[in-house]
Each structure stands twice: as C-alpha cells, then as structure tokens.
Amino acid sequence: MKRLVVFGLCSALAFAKVHYAKVEPYDVITLKSSVSGLVTQAKIESEGKVIENQRVIHIDDKLDIINLSQTKTSIGLIKDMIDINNEIKATLEKSVSRQKGYYERISKLSTASKTQKDNAYIAYSSAKTQYLNINEKILSLQKQLLDLNYLQSKLQDSIEKKSITLHHKYLYKLLVKKGNFVTPATPLAIVDDISKAKLILYLDSDELEGIEDKTIYMDDNKTNYHISKIWQVSDEKFVSSYKVEIDIDSPKKRFSKLLKVEFK
C-alpha cells in the first residue's frame, strides 16, 4: 500500500503541467498631463533607464512662478491690513461703548435739552456705524485672503504638476518632445514600476483545483511564492483558460526573462 501511495505521489509530480511566463514589471503606467503648457524639457536620453529622483519632463511654468510670487506678496499685505483694521476696530469698540454709556445717561436726565440728547444719540450712532463698517471691511479682507490662499495652492499645484519627476521607476518611453504643447489628458510617458515583478499565466479550470495549496516551482527550483490573484471569469482571448498572477521579487538584472513554472 505504501508503495502505491508513493508511486501515486511521484506520478502526480511527474505529470504536473509545465507553464512558461515572462517576468514583467509589477505595473505599467501611462503618465498623462493634468495641465496645459509648452514642453520645455523632455529627457529622451533617459529612456530605457531606471530613474532615481530625477525630472524627465518639464512644462513651462514661468508665469505660474511670477504669479505665485506676487500672490504671496499680496497675502502678506492683506494680513497686514487685517491687523491694522483689527487695531482700529478695538479703538472703535471702546468709542462705541463710551458713546453708548453717555447717551444712556443723558437720555434719562430731565435737565438735559432735546438738542443735547439728539447730539448724544448722533455721536453714538456714528461711532456704531464706523464700528460696523470696519467689521465689514475686515470680513471683506478675510474673504480676499481666502481667495488668495486658494490661488496660492492652485499655483503651487500647477507648478508641481509641470515637473514630472520619477522616483525609482523605469522610463520605458517618452511620448512628448521639447516644443510640444500639451493639454490635460495628453499622454506624456510610459513608466514601469519595477519595485516588484509579476508572472501572468493562463490555466485550465481543472488546474485551479487546490492550486493555492500547492508549491510553486520556477525553473525546477522550489519557491515560497504564492498566487496573488486568480480571475474567476475565463479570459477573453484564451476562452477556456483563467488568468493567474504571481507577484515575485524584482530581478537583479533584466525583466522579460522566460521562467518555467509548475504547481506541485
């Protein structure tokens, strides 16, 4: 009986279906422009290289930089104006309080003439009107400050988006050249994420049975890798097969190597 079990196991291993899969980048990204402008730099010489913290595309941002500088200056001026008007407000607040107190006192005096009472009321009303006007001015300045802060953020965002900098990414292809004019959604570059790699295989439905419990062999070597994704709907191209993806470590040298893959 033991011999039959061993034979059956060896037979199963011997007839494990062999697949071949190409080592592909973990992700392929098409970068698209989110702004409009003239391309002033496109580092064609960087194609086919792993880029480490380097700008590969630059879209003209001179006017944005000037506008941003002026906006920052305007923000500083508005803040100064708000501070000055707050000091005026504090002074007017005391004046209103004094005028109100004087008016309330004199309005109760039977010895005070109607002219004195009217003048006291007019002085109180005038002080209160000035106080309300300065409050309105402060609110208007605060609204201007909000608008300028928004404009500053918008300009900073635009400037940032006009510099395409890659961080440990493989620049497969630039899709624009210096002198091109781009608009939002214009494709700029094709970039590969090589932080990891992946294998894509197409398996028959019977191969999927218990596959997550099987060991993955690559080029006849046992690995600790596991299936990362299994598509539950058959593939559009390979209609009788199901797509399977395995995430693996990034190769030390080159991608696109063909690996022999078995599930045992």
Each of the 264 residues of the chain gets a pLDDT tens digit; together they read: 434 334 344 444 445 689 999 999 999 999 999 999 999 999 999 999 999 999 999 999 999 999 999 999 999 999 999 999 999 999 999 999 999 999 889 988 988 899 999 999 999 999 999 999 999 999 999 999 999 999 999 999 999 999 999 999 999 999 999 999 999 999 999 999 999 999 999 999 889 988 988 999 999 999 999 999 999 888 777 788 899 999 999 988 788 899 999 998
What distances in angstroms separate CA 129 from CA 49, 132, 141, 142, one per listed residue?
69, 5, 18, 20
Neighbours of 30 (CB within 10 A): 12
For residue 123, with 0-12 CB atoms within 10 Å meaning exposed, 13-18 middle and 19 or more buried, which class applies?
middle
pLDDT at 159 (0 to 100): 97
- Eight-state DSSP code of residue 61: -
pLDDT at 14 (0 to 100): 45
* Residue that is written with structure tokens 């707050």 in the block: 86
Cα separation, 76 vs 55, in Å, equals 32
How many CA atoms lie less than 13 Å away from 133 in the CB half-sphere?
9
Within 39-113, residue ranges assigned H as helices are 62-106
pLDDT at 254 (0 to 100): 82
Structurally, what CATH architecture does the domain formed by 62-161 represent? Orthogonal Bundle (1.10)
Cα separation, 176 vs 56, in Å, equals 11
Cα angle 41, 171, 178 (rounded to 5 degrees) comes to: 20
Domain ranges of the chain: 16-37+182-263, 62-161
What is 16-37+182-263's CATH number?
A: 2.40.30
What pTM value is reported for the model? 0.76
